[in-house]
Structure 1
Amino acid sequence: MARPWLSQYPDAIPESLEYPDKTLHSFLKEGAEEEPEKKILDFMGLSMTFKEVYEQAERFAAGLQKLGVHKGDRVAIMLANTPQSVISYYGILMAGGIVVQTNPLYVERELEHQMADSGAKVIVCLDLVYPKVQSVRNNTALEHVIVTKIADYLPFPKNMIYPFIQKKNTGLKVDVSYDSSNHSFVQLVKNSGNRLTPVETDPDSDLALLQYTGGTTGAAKGVMLTHKNLVANTTQCIRWMHNIKHGEEVILCALPFFHVYGMTVGMNFAIMDRSKMVILPKFDTKQTLKAIERQKVSIFPGAPTMYIGLINDQNVQKFDLSSIEVCISGSAPLPVEVQQRFETLTGGKLSEGFGLTEASPVTHFNLMWGKRPTGSIGLPWPDTDVMILSAETGEEASPKEVGELLIRGPQVMQGYWNRPEDTAQAMQNGWLYTGDMGYMDEEGYFYIVDRKKDMIIAGGFNIYPREIEEVLYEHEAVKEAVAVGLPDPYRGETVKAFVVLKEGKDVSEKELDKFCRTQLSSYKVPRLYEFREELPKTMVGKVLRRALQEEEKERQKSS
């Protein structure tokens, strides 16, 4: 097949790369052996060296083995960005386990589905979400819960003050009763004794990660990613940033590690490149600005909402952001105005890429130091083949002809966990069918014209209307419901629900909001509601979701 994008590559980026035949955790071990005293992470004033992170990961792995974790067992991580999330991630891999990344914002229903589907044996969680875990564990295969606190890895006196701040902000103080199935993270690491039994791992075939995604439907599926998949994608990312000072960069890790994007371009990138990561437990504009200035952050992977938040912060001019060299934007389309304003503000480069969980996740990126066509997701990465499949002919489309985006490359998943039919549908003849509609221009730059069918992307999170609709249908007053994504200047898109009530029933927006918040993570809850007598439908009764979206867009234009 023709690959016109290769002619756009600068001399510093080869058409094909050599990928280390190694496990993910081997890079942490090599760093600890070769540069043991090098600072690899900073967390709110706490610094840790390669040696310290590796030794704690090794002790954690030994602790998991003492709890009965064997090769291939799934171990879930339900943490915010903390040193514990790095230590447990690499420790699970050292023990031969498969990481299951879990969003701490999940409500019980979402958590139970993921734990039951993955068959996770152990979960590592924050104390604040421990009650959720306890409420679902009897319906899952969970045998052990390992609990940690944000304060466990804070320096003095922050570790003493933080619990009071946490209680003030959340109103929660969780007491955990430790026993044979509930364990303290700190004590597990302390008492494991470094007696790790080495586990033989084949990077090509052994899974490192089950990353859950809804794909093009509302049912969350576990994407199976091997060590090779993740090593390949991280290698591609490092080589694409050809002008950076390898081993000397400072990477801001505000994107959550439980999201495959933050995991690859933040945590795995830092460990493999031996650059320091500055870890933030959540994105906050004030804390982010402070961290960039104090730590001299040079690489900032983020989502458009983060950059929007920073450029609109009223105090942004008070901070020195000149250390920023490279910003990697993903998860949602990047507005041109945001790109230009952020580059003017920092003097660094902000470029947009594209990917999906099923590809570890990155497949395309614009050049950092080169041509960046407006609206383009960029060029395919080395060793990544991309085809636009014509809807009319079923064959490869001609330039600028819109069709479905197909991808193949070393970063593409092995399939969906325990879902052979879904796997067969998504992967055909070596190609991953993304469900995204787009086109390629004559020079090999790609453009997305329509997101995955019906999917809403708000604040970088993938939201699947079907899941919201199923919750709304559970309300006794709701007869019909449909959720759509509407343009939002800050979140990219926001969720609006159109609702038809049952005859004789009544419910307010406030009541529906409260109901949804018991069943959905906050970012999925509709921000807007509209009650209607009926919904527009096709002749066969299918709701015309697109008609509602177009109607709303026209209303926004005229208002």
Structure 2
Amino acid sequence: MIRTDLIAPLPELLVRHAGARGGKPAFRDSVRGVTWAELAARSGNLAGQLAAAGIAPGDRVALLLPNSVAWIEAGCAILRAGAINVPISHDATLPEILYRLEDAGCRALIVSAERAGQVREVLAGLPALTTLIIAEDGPAGLEAMTAAAPPLPPPDPPLLEEAAFIIYTSGTTGRAKGVILTLRGMLWVTAACWAPILGLSAEDEFLSPLPLFHSYGLNLAFLSSIATGCSVRIMERYSTGEARRLLAEEQPTLFAGVPTMFHYLLQTIPEGEAPVAPRLTRSVSAGAIMPGTLNRAWEERFGSRLLDGYGITETCTMVTMNWMEGARPLGSCGLPVPGLTVRLLDPVSGEDAAPGAEGELIVRGPNVMLGYHNKPAETAQALRRGWYHTGDLARADADGFLTITGRLKELIIRGGQNIAPAEIEEVAAAFPGVRDCAVVAAPHAELGEVPVLFVAEKHAEDVDVEALLAALRLALSAYKVPHLVQITDEIPRTGSGKIMRFRLKELLLA
């Protein structure tokens, strides 16, 4: 059941495919592609160049590139140099980038030419960052280093148990936390979930719009594709029109996304029209809860399985998954992935929840994170006696199928993107005229949830809402900007000062 042959150091996986299918396309974007033999050679050469530039095993290297073949080559090279990959969203704001570079103590940054000018402005405040590699033409650019001759041998340490990635994810206590993940943990999900359950293999043609800086895309579209040897067509960013065109022209066998993407794609296909992807045998959804009605509509329209599951960054993505075979309750996120143990704890007593009752989902297994980078208190709170406490509430039916019902945490999931209310509140609280503020999730028909910001003013009509939104857009990624700003007299709080968010949600529904 579990494909342990897929759990191997990255150089071994690349050599394996270079020998077995060297001329087969490995990854393609809208500009160029790379075969398995080319990926092995080019990533090895870049790894040698990184080592020659002074990057040592255990150093952190940030990757600030859009989804692309260049991202894949650089991502492989970082691991082959023995360094830790710190992927950053190409759309991140400068404060968000600076925080990640500083918090992770990055020694090097591989950045697009588009963002390089901005990043240079803050390098003086980052003494640890000694190497800047820009994806541009020229003798010092990323392509020149990747294709340099004669090639430099890569260090290629056989790393599996050591830290391989620091992925920043929004939490509920303010700034993003760096989740430390190992290659073994990531590939366990490949071996126990994507290969045996989804059936991912070297025969697949995979269309992926998944952001590579997210654990979902990083695991499935990057590492799992390398482990299994499938061919991947990378979308730089998701567009419904472009996704529909590629589904029709590329004829993939597999498509992955978040529920919002499937919702938008279904809206573009008139009732009764033939499916745009007749070779599509299955699709997969994660990142947010998939409504049962959406799952059913997709399968009826495309005539192929849409598998949904539940995953989180701290477990290298998947915890539960629905299977290709057999019935499953629509709206359920499936059964625990083989090799993982899950429990539901009563939120009040802390004991195992009664059958059918709601409880906090906790998980133990080889894919659980090492911890949060430089955050021992948060790590100790999340990892207790070998169990990762997710903060998510769920119920299990008599057959063991889990359904996510809510969150103990206050995280907002907008179209599969995690948003911490405290991150928005930190920016809004510093805006002139704001006396107090709080963010809550509002339901949204297409995105699942969107953030709404409540503001209590220092004086009547003291806050310019449009100016506040403009300030938020400068400081935060677009998906974190509140859908609505609502002025209120007071932010309800407990005696200890905690925000009573349920009271604000009641105002939304009033």
Moved over 6 A (4+): none
Q: How does 1:539-550 map to 2 (within 5 A)?
A: 539-550=495-506
- Structure-2 separation of matches of 1:462 and 1:251: 25
Alpha-carbon contact 1:71-1:199 (below 8 Å) kept: no
In the TM superposition, what whole-angstrom CA distance separates every residue of 1:131-166 from its partner, at most 9, and x where no partner exists? 3311222222221222226xx8xxxxxxxxxxxxxx
- Structure-2 separation of matches of 1:350 and 1:366: 9
Alpha-carbon contact 2:42-2:146 (below 8 Å) kept: yes
Show the counterpart of 1:139. 125
- Structure-2 separation of matches of 1:428 and 1:381: 21
Three-state SS of the structure 1 residue aligned to 2:121 is: helix
Show the counterpart of 1:226. 182
Alpha-carbon contact 1:111-1:136 (below 8 Å) kept: no
Would you say 1:401 and 2:387 are equivalent positions?
no
- Structure-2 separation of matches of 1:88 and 1:374: 39
Report the CA distance between 1:383 and its aligned residue. 0.4
Show the counterpart of 1:175. none
Q: What is the one-letter code of the residue matched to 2:417?
A: F
- Structure-2 separation of matches of 1:531 and 1:132: 34
Counterpart of 1:93 (choices 76, 79, 90) is 79
Would you say 1:551 and 2:507 are equivalent positions?
yes
Show the counterpart of 1:296. 251
* More moved, 527-536 vs 232-241: 232-241
- Structure-2 separation of matches of 1:392 and 1:385: 21
Show the counterpart of 1:379. 335
Three-state SS of the structure 2 residue aligned to 1:278 is: strand
Q: How does 1:120-159 map to 2 (within 5 A)?
A: 120-140=106-126, 141-148=128-135
C-alpha distance 423-329 of structure 1, shift in aligned 2 (>3 A): same
C-alpha distance 98-539 of structure 1, shift in aligned 2 (>3 A): closer
Alpha-carbon contact 2:3-2:196 (below 8 Å) kept: no
Q: How does 1:466-477 map to 2 (within 5 A)?
A: 466-477=422-433
Alpha-carbon contact 2:275-2:302 (below 8 Å) kept: no
In the TM superposition, what whole-angstrom CA distance separates every residue of 1:485-505 from its partner, at most 9, and x where no partner exists? 101111111111111111266
- Structure-2 separation of matches of 1:297 and 1:539: 56
Would you say 1:275 and 2:245 are equivalent positions?
no
Show the counterpart of 2:89. 103
Q: How does 1:158-557 map to 2 (within 5 A)?
A: 183-191=140-148, 193-204=150-161, 206-241=162-197, 246-313=201-268, 317=273, 320-503=276-459, 506-552=462-508, 554-555=509-510
Show the counterpart of 1:38. 24
- Structure-2 separation of matches of 1:109 and 1:462: 18
Show the counterpart of 1:3. none
Report the CA distance between 1:231 and its aligned residue. 1.4
In the TM superposition, what whole-angstrom CA distance separates every residue of 1:234-271 from its partner, at most 9, and x where no partner exists? 11223333656x31111111011111101111122221
Three-state SS of the structure 2 residue aligned to 1:312 is: helix
The answer for unaligned runs of 5 or more in structure 1 is: 1-13, 153-177
Report the CA distance between 1:337 and its aligned residue. 2.2
> Taking structure 2 as the reference length, what is the TM-score of the superposition?
0.95
In the TM superposition, what whole-angstrom CA distance separates every residue of 1:276-313 from its partner, at most 9, and x where no partner exists? 10111011111111111121111111001111111112
Show the counterpart of 1:116. 102
In the TM superposition, what whole-angstrom CA distance separates every residue of 1:75-118 from its partner, at most 9, and x where no partner exists? 11111110001000111111111100111111111111110111
Alpha-carbon contact 1:213-1:222 (below 8 Å) kept: yes
Q: What is the one-letter code of the residue matched to 1:188?
A: M
* More moved, 18-27 vs 346-355: 18-27
Show the counterpart of 1:73. 59
Show the counterpart of 1:53. 39
- Structure-1 separation of matches of 2:198 and 2:70: 31
C-alpha distance 229-192 of structure 1, shift in aligned 2 (>3 A): farther
C-alpha distance 469-52 of structure 1, shift in aligned 2 (>3 A): same
Alpha-carbon contact 1:112-1:136 (below 8 Å) kept: yes
- Structure-2 separation of matches of 1:17 and 1:267: 17
Alpha-carbon contact 2:295-2:306 (below 8 Å) kept: yes
Three-state SS of the structure 2 residue aligned to 1:353 is: strand
Alpha-carbon contact 2:48-2:155 (below 8 Å) kept: no
- Structure-2 separation of matches of 1:519 and 1:135: 16
Report the CA distance between 1:45 and its aligned residue. 5.9
In the TM superposition, what whole-angstrom CA distance separates every residue of 1:306-351 from its partner, at most 9, and x where no partner exists? 1111111267947622221111111111122221222122111112
Would you say 1:63 and 2:49 are equivalent positions?
yes
Tell me the C-alpha RMSD between the 2 structures.
2.0
Show the counterpart of 1:172. none
- Structure-1 separation of matches of 2:186 and 2:148: 31
C-alpha distance 230-112 of structure 1, shift in aligned 2 (>3 A): same
Q: What is the one-letter code of the residue matched to 1:88?
A: A
Alpha-carbon contact 2:285-2:306 (below 8 Å) kept: yes
C-alpha distance 262-38 of structure 1, shift in aligned 2 (>3 A): same
* More moved, 110-119 vs 435-444: 435-444
- Structure-1 separation of matches of 2:92 and 2:122: 12
In the TM superposition, what whole-angstrom CA distance separates every residue of 1:17-47 from its partner, at most 9, and x where no partner exists? 6365521342122111222111112222633
Report the CA distance between 1:201 and its aligned residue. 3.1
The answer for unaligned runs of 5 or more in structure 2 is: none
C-alpha distance 34-243 of structure 1, shift in aligned 2 (>3 A): closer
C-alpha distance 40-382 of structure 1, shift in aligned 2 (>3 A): same
In the TM superposition, what whole-angstrom CA distance separates every residue of 1:182-216 from its partner, at most 9, and x where no partner exists? x4111221326321243433412x11111111334
Report the CA distance between 1:550 and its aligned residue. 3.1
Three-state SS of the structure 2 residue aligned to 1:518 is: helix
Q: What is the one-letter code of the residue matched to 1:185?
A: L
Alpha-carbon contact 1:264-1:360 (below 8 Å) kept: yes
